Structure 1
Amino acid sequence: MFDLTGQKALVVGVANDQSIAWGCAKALKAQGAEIIAPLDVRSEADADALFGQITERWGKLDTLVHSIAFSLKDDLHGRVVDCSAEGFGLAMDISVHSFLRLIRRAEPLMPNGGTCMTVSFMGAQRVVEHYNIMGPVKAALEAATRYAAAELGPKGISVHALSPGPLQTRAASGIDAFDTLLNDAAERAPTHHLATIEDVGAYAAFLASREAANVTGGIHPIDGGYSIIG
C-alpha cells in the first residue's frame, strides 16, 4: 500500500477490535508506522503524561488519528431543540474540542509536517433520522477540520475528516434504529456494501503517506457511494 516505515502515530479512540480507530491503527502499523493508542481526552494530566512520553520516546509525531464522539443518552435520543446546554457542551467538548486540543499538542512535534485526522459522518451535512444532536456536533467538527487545515497548511501539517458510512461499532449502537440505517445503507449504496474498518484504515494510511502530502482540509466519504444517493 503506502510505506510508513519510520513514522510515529498516535491513535485515540480504540475501544475494541471493531472500532474505527482499531482499523486505522492496524493499517498504519501494517505499513510500518509505530503506534501509541491509549488516552482519556478528558484528562489534561493524562494528555500531559502521554505527550511527554511521545516526546521522550520518539521526539516527534507524524500522524494523529482522533476517533472519539460522545453524547449523553437523553440528548442523543431526544430532539435537537430539546438538547440540554450541559449535554451540548459535553458533546462538543469530547467530540470536537478534544481534536483541537490534540492538534495543538501535536503541532510542536511535527516540525517537518504531519497528518491529523478525525472521524465524521454524513449526518453532519444532511439530516439523518435518529442521529439527532450528533449531526450539529459533527458539523462543527468538519468546520474545525477546515479551519485547522487552513491554519496549519503552511507548516506542512494536513488535517482531514474521514467520513465512513454506517458501521456497526460500539459507539453507533447507542443510536436508535441503527440496524435500519445499516440495512438501508447496504441496499442503496452503489456498491451495495457497507464500509468496513479496514476500508477506513486503508484510506487513513494513504492520507498519512508522503503521496498525500498536498491533500488537506477534506471531508472524505468512505461509504460505497451511499452519500451521493439522495
Structure 2
Amino acid sequence: MARSAIQLYTLRALDEPLDELLARVDDAGFEGVEYANRIGDADADAVRTTLDETGLESVAGHVGIDALEDNADDTVEFYRSLGCEHLVVPWLDPECFENEAAIEETADRLMTVAETVDDHGMALSYHNHDHEFAEVNGRPAFEHLAEATEEPLGFELDCGWTTVGGADPVAVLDRWADRVSLIHVSDADESGSPVEVGDGVLDVAACAAAAREHDVEWAIYEHDDPDDQMASVVHGADVLERF
C-alpha cells in the first residue's frame, strides 16, 4: 500500500513559515512531504525540528537539473540534511522531447545526472507533465525516453498530467513499474487546467488500484493552483486514503 505525501508546491502561496505548514500537513494526516521551491528560503533548522516532532518523512525534493549539474555536492548534501534520499527533476522544456534526436540528448543528460546522484548515495527520478506524451514517430515521447534510459534513473509518474497528455497512467505504470517508486496524484480538466482530484480527467480508483498492485512506495498529492490551499490539503489526504 502506497504511503501518503504532499508536494509542498501545493502550498506555495500561503504566507506562513514552512515549519508551520509542515505541522498543518501532519495534522491533515499525511505521512510525508516532497519539497519544492520554498525550501530554499526556509529556516532549515526549524524544518528539521518540525520533522522530528511530527514524524513526517522527507520523501523527495524537486530540484532543477541545472542545480544538480552545476553543484551536485552541495545540492545533495542540503537535501540529505533534511532526511531526503530521493531527488526529482520536476520539468524539462517541451523542446527536449520534440523529436528523437532531442529525446536522445535529454536521455543522456538525465542519465549523467542520475549517475552523479547515485554516486552520492541518492536516487534520482524524472517527473513528467503532459508534453512528454506528445507523439514522436507514432509513439509517446515518454516511451522513447524510458527506452533510452535505465537505472539508476527512475520516474515519478504524474497520473493527472499523463492523462491530460492522452495516455493511460495505469498502462504506463504497468509497463514501467520497476522504475516508478513515486507517483503524483493530481488532476486537471480536458483543457489542462488544474482541478481538485476527482473533478477532472483522472480515474482515481484505477490509479489507486494500480499503485497498490505494483507496490508503489509513495503516492504524492499535488494541486498546481488550488482556490483554497488548506481545503485542498484536507481533500488530498482523504483521496490518498484509497491508495
Q: TM-score, with normalisation over the residues of structure 2?
A: 0.38
Which one has a larger percent strand, Structure 1 or Structure 2? 2
Q: TM-score, with normalisation over the residues of structure 1?
A: 0.39
